[in-house]
Structure 1
Amino acid sequence: MVAPARRSFLTRLTRNPYVAGATPTLGGLIFGCDISSMSAQWDNEVFLAKMGHPSPFRQGGITAAMPAGSFAGALLNSYLADKIGRKRCVILSGWIWVVGCIIMAVANDVRTLIAGRVIGGFAVGIASAIVTVYQAEITKPSMRGKIVSIQQLSTMSGIMIQYFVSFGFAQTAGELTFRAPFGLMAIPGALLGSLMFIFPESPRWLMDKDRNEEALQILADVHAAGDTEDALVRLEYNEIKKQIDFDRTQAARSYMDLFKPDVRLRVFLGMSDQMWSQLGGMNVMMMKAAGLQGRQAGLIASSVQYALGVAFTIPTVFLIDKLGRRPLMFGGAVSMASCLLIVGTLTAAFGHAVNGSGASNTVTWVVDGHPAVRNAIIVFSYLFVCSFASTWGPCSWTYASELTPLRVRAKAVSFATATNWTFNFVLGLTTPQAFHNLQFGVYYLYMAFNILAAIHVFFMFRETKGYSLEQIDEVFANGHPFKAWQVPKDIVPAKALQRDLEGRHVEDLQHDSRTDEKDEKGEFAHVENVMHPSSTTA
């Protein structure tokens, strides 16, 4: 066995699997910053005066500009990610975000502000569609869920940080109250666009471009401290190469590949899990519908919600690769439906509608005169936030990023992300009107969505934890009745295979993997036997 070459400190740092996987989640931080960037401004008299006291309709347009831009960015990423690479897309998103923040910070009218939000949203759309793909393609199967779910933790942290920064500057005087929060949002984007230059490209994208030696070295650096002769590295390298060779036997890559029989179910599942994450009701439960009156009470309530969102995402980062995606999403949907049922029932029994003042026609359903009921509604609203943060929040991004093969992965994840932004945009426009028309019935509507999500997960969402990205094809293989709660028994999870490689068979497997790589005719026979022990080779 040849000892790996001595690596510099910078190489060791940027090839560390945790550092390489976590640094791109600065894209999640800008995502979170944009989500809460307007929260404090609608109560900021200096901002409202500068923007000409926009009507509720114009306020909706300002808010909706971000998801509209994000939708466009996510769709463009479906082309860019395969053309220029995962790493360059991440870099591009960071610097476009900086431009958008600068425009927002200097805006003197609504049109300029909307332009800045569209550009910033465009950057967020690219980042949200590519960061999880990059993470999934560069990490080990045994830690993929942990690394990808850091993206959601970063998003929740960005929401909370920007919320407190905005309200902090709201206590100052002059236009600094809104220009400073907008300008400071550029910092994570500049860090993302700068730091990613020193990180490696996705090895799977490199191999797809026939840069095999470079890809092998990156796999070795990230997975085996630079040892290109490591058995698991060789095995994964051969698996990726086999997948790419197979993909090249298919028709020319195009958007029509998303509808081919071997991937269309998985593309649909990726889009569905993003849809259900939006229809779960997080936007509704984050609204001040529990009878809290006054800015100070609203600040406290929102602060608690954001803090809980961050705190309850952290355990999932460490548990998602142990518990799996499927049980977390199913359990989360059931838990959120239960919270919505309780909140809706208590609100219907003890609450009443309050019409918005002035030009606003927004209806808020509040509870007065029943402090115990009001507190119960607040508690179950918080429990809902905890349920979402620990299940659908991180799982929806993780699951969508690992479902499809390399040839369509960037396009499929971009379409899934565009689905997220579509429903984000629609819900942002319709939720206030839904409260006006359905009142407390809104809670029952979103409860029904969660029940449908739980049913969908149970019957259609197959578990993906522990399998390499290339093994997912076998997990969803055709040719047998599809039962989502079962996985074909002849597939050895990559995590279990790693334990075997680290055990008594390691030397034999190292020898075999090197021999297989040199033998073009039987290049993948050994890999097939190890990964699928019940199969036979010609």
Structure 2
Amino acid sequence: MGKGYNTALASNPYVVGSFACIGGSLFGMDISSMSGVLNNPSYAATFSSPSSTAQGGIVAAMPGGSTLGAIIASDLADRLGRRWTIITSACVWIVGCVVQCASVDVAMLVTGRVISGIAVGIASMIVPIYQSEVAPPTIRGRIVTLQLWAVTWGITIQYFVEFACSYIDGPASFRIPWGLQIIPAIILAAGMLLFPESPRWLADHDRFDEALAILADLHGRGDAQTPLVQLEYAEICAQVDAGHKEPKRGWLDLLAPGMARRVMLGCSVQMWSQLSGINVMMYYIVYVFEGAGLTGRRGNLTADSIQYVLNTALTFCATLYIDRWGRRPMLLLGTLLMGFWLMLVGGLQGRYGHWGTIEGVNGQIWVMTGHEYATRAVIACSYLFVCSFAATVGPVCWTYPAEIFPIRVRAKAVALAIATDWACNFALAFAVPPSLANIAYKTYFIFGTINFVAFIHIFFCFPETAKRSLEEIEEIFAQGHAYTAWRISKDVGFKNAEQTPVVETEKVSPEYVLEKELSFTHAYQPQTNSVSYVESMSLGDNA
């Protein structure tokens, strides 16, 4: 324990990466904390039956705060470190939950959701970075995907808590679930004290001894002389050395030659994930099923809960193959499937729906009545849409931005990407209720078309990054191919195309380590803290 963290816990990257995912569960809880009360009479009575515009504002308050939180997190991550930034997000979340739980009017509720949103923005930005910096290359996608899995668990757990509390009469039916959201934040803040700081952040702050010790615990079972640890340490230090020779880091660095392209990719993948229409199916699934003709509060809540369970199950499945299949295939398949299901939903509602009223809903809505099979088809397509997102685009949109940036700008670049996510989330959360109330089924056609546009963009511009170390990914972008991403060979980034990527310490050959080390023009000697410049050479030259 003299190291400031628990060595036994640090020896397993799955444990380190998965515990930080509790930060993702906060985001999930916030999503269903709203969707579970939209047709709660006590909620409507307490907050004066918000109109569609007012309800959009209440829901949008959280992603609005998250946009600000993601930007704030960039400086916190560079100054405080990854671990303490995660702890900070948990503390801010607790404050926001307290304000929400005590809310007596819309203004107070919006304030609480903004505060909670700041916490979610910080956590959603820093957790993937932390995970990507502590995970070995071949399971990095799996580890970062656990973040989204935690989001789905937060959605599901919170929804079932609200489902159970819906049988309580009065404001306690929504105040109890909102108050219980504090528990995971307390666990996260206390538990992160037992876990190590990111070795890449430590190296970037000239704390090389600590970085090497943590790498040894994470990837070498405590042995700093393990080939994988020596190799990874040399790569990190070489990149840090190159970064320190650059001018002082700022936001303008994101516009530097070669960097703007990556920023565009990181922001785009987050933008496409939000514009896919997933928020329609998560925040406002109650409205979707009401429009499909599913009436009765209990029946609607039951149908909603099935969707959240499917979301959780399919996200877990994605963790098993994201590193095997790669990022590109999942993004391409997902956008096609989601566009198809949304077009079906829009077509069915357009064909069989009409403007009308249903019990418990104020005003007219576009609703399907008297068409049982069409109603079932819309519900099935909604389930399949969410399953498609959870198994493909959802996991990748969190993994991709965390791995494509060099360490010197990673915090700021990922912050901008996550802020893009939350800005789109904010706009959609605010716009969807009026959209469903005014153009009804045409809303689904809009999101379906967006998915097809995303497919084209991803096909031309998004290179594969799976199974490469964060340092090896640099070579991918050095190749160019800005608009012909499909042409980038799978072996780009590996010094020897015949070598398989590093998987476990005992599988790393001495020859591979030697070849990697000799490839650095400026390399660190892993046994010391000082820089020694070694002559650039290759195995071919020595032959």
TM-score by length of 2: 0.90
Which residues of 2 match residues 220-299 of structure 1 at below 5 A? 220-285=216-281, 286=285, 287-288=288-289, 289-299=291-301
Distance in 1, Cα, partners of 2:359 & 2:372 = 24
Matched residues in 2 for 1:306 and 1:66: separation? Answer: 20
Q: What is the correspondence of 1:375-390 to structure 2 with a 5 Å cutoff? A: 375-390=376-391
| C-alpha deviation, 1:123, in angstroms | 0.4
Q: Which amino acid aligns with 2:37?
A: Q
Moved more, 509-518 or 455-464: 509-518
Cross-structure match for 1:180? 176
In structure 2, what is the equivalent of residue 304 of structure 1?
306
Q: Determine helix, strand or coil for the equivalent of 1:192.
A: helix
What CA distance in whole angstroms lies between the structure 1 residues aligned with 2:108 and 2:350? 42
Distance of aligned partners of 1:499 and 1:297 in 2 relative to their CA distance in 1, 3 Å threshold: closer
CA distance in 2, matches of 1:301, 1:353: 23
Shift of 1:291: 1.9
Instruction: Go from structure 1 to structure 2 and tell me whether the alpha carbon gap of 1:132 and 1:165 turns closer, same or farther (over 3 Å shift).
Output: same
Q: CA 1:160/1:505 → structure 2, altered by over 3 Å: closer, same or farther? A: closer
Residues 312 and 386, structure 1, Cα contact 8 Å, conserved in 2? yes
What CA deviation, in whole Å up to 9, does each residue of 1:250-280 have, x standing for no partner? 2220000011112111111110001100111
The root-mean-square deviation of aligned C-alpha atoms, in Å, is: 2.9
Secondary structure, aligned partner of 2:185: helix
> Equivalent of 2:46, from 35, 50, 62?
50
Measured at CA, do residues 445 and 200 of structure 1 come closer, stay the same or move farther in structure 2, by a change above 3 Å?
same
Aligned counterparts of 2:171 and 2:138: Cα–Cα separation in 1 = 49
Q: Please, which of 494, 497, 500 is the counterpart of residue 496 of structure 1?
A: 500
The answer to whether residue 77 in structure 2 is matched with residue 75 in structure 1 is no
Cross-structure match for 1:413: 414
Corresponding residue to 1:168 among 144, 164, 167: 164
- Deviation, 1:52, is 4.1
For residues 268 and 78 of structure 1, what CA distance do their matches in structure 2 show?
17
- Provide closer, same or farther for how the CA distance between residues 515 and 64 of structure 1 changes in structure 2, counting only shifts above 3 A: closer
Deviations 1:217-252 (A, max 9, x none): 111101110110011111111111111111122222
1:144 maps to 140
Give the whole-Å Cα distance in 2 for the aligned partners of 1:352 and 1:318: 43
Question: Which of 113, 117, 122 is equivalent to 2:118?
Answer: 122
Matched letter for residue 416 of structure 2: F
CA distance in 2, matches of 1:515, 1:205: 16
* Offset at residue 166 of structure 1 (A): 1.3
Change (3 A) 1:497 1:11: same
Distance 1:6 1:94 in 2: 25
Q: Which amino acid aligns with 2:472?
A: Q
Q: Distance in 1 between matches of 2:319 and 2:219?
A: 19
Instruction: Specify the SS of the correspondent of 2:222.
Output: coil
Deviation at 1:428, TM superposition (A): 1.3
Q: 1:129 to 1:226 in 2, by over 3 A?
A: same
SS of alignment partner, residue 485 of structure 1 = helix
Residue 434 (str. 1) matches residue 435 (str. 2): yes
Partner of 1:37, secondary structure, is: helix
Corresponding position of 1:469: 470
Aligned to 2:328: 326
Distance 1:68 1:151 in 2: 21
Provide the residue aligned with 2:484 in structure 1.
483
Instruction: Give 1:403's aligned residue.
Output: 404
Residues 1:222 and 1:109: Cα distance change in structure 2 (over 3 Å): same
Match of 1:341 in 2: 343
Give the whole-Å Cα distance in 2 for the aligned partners of 1:372 and 1:172. Answer: 33
CA drift at 1:56:
4.0
Aligned residues: 526
Q: Which moved more, 1:246-255 or 1:192-201?
A: 246-255
Identical aligned pairs, as a percentage? 43
Contact (CA 8 Å) 1:33, 1:185: kept in 2 or not? Answer: yes
Q: Distance in 2 between matches of 1:9 and 1:417?
A: 28
The residue number in structure 1 matching 2:520 is none
Question: Distance in 1 between the 2:482 and 2:262 partners?
Answer: 16
1:25 deviates by: 0.5
> What letter corresponds to residue 93 of structure 1 in structure 2?
S
> SS at 1:31's partner residue?
helix
* Superposition map of 1:351-362 within 5 A: 351-354=353-356
Cα gap change, 1:405 to 1:453, in 2 (>3 Å): same
Contact 2:4 2:194 in 1 (8 A): no
CA distance in 2, matches of 1:501, 1:197: 27
Equivalent residue runs for 1:87-106 within 5 Å: 87-106=83-102
Worse-matched range after superposition: 56-65 or 462-471: 56-65
**In 2, Cα distance between equivalents of 1:6 and 1:197:** 13
Q: 1:199 to 1:83 in 2, by over 3 A?
A: same
Aligned equivalents of 2:93 and 2:51: distance in 1?
27
Which position in structure 2 is the counterpart of 1:201?
Answer: 197
Contact 1:103 1:116 (C-alpha < 8 Å) held by counterparts? yes
In 1, the alpha carbon distance for the partners of 2:103 and 2:199 equals: 41
Contact 2:32 2:159 in 1 (8 A): yes
Question: Taking structure 1 as the reference length, what is the TM-score of the superposition?
Answer: 0.91
Cα 1:436–1:512 change in 2 (3 A) is closer
Deviation at 1:55, TM superposition (A): 4.2
Instruction: State the SS of the aligned residue for 1:43.
Output: coil
Equivalence for 2:130:
134
Could you tell me how far 1:64 is from its partner in structure 2? Answer: 1.7
Asked whether the 8 Å contact 1:56–1:359 carries over to 2, the reply is no
CA distance in 1, matches of 2:310, 2:360: 33
Task: Determine helix, strand or coil for the equivalent of 1:66.
Answer: helix
Equivalent position of 1:374 in the other structure:
375
Distance across 1 between alignment mates of 2:359 and 2:280: 20
Unaligned runs of 5+ in 2: 518-522
What stretches of structure 1 of length at least 5 have no aligned partner?
A: none
Structure 2 distance, partners of 1:83, 1:153, is 28
SS in 1 for 2:34: coil
Counterpart Cα distance in 2 of 1:504 and 1:89:
33
Contact 1:516 1:525 in 2 (8 A): no
Q: State the distance in 1 between where 2:316 and 2:206 align.
A: 38
- Is the Cα–Cα contact under 8 Å of residues 230 and 510 in structure 1 kept in the other structure? no
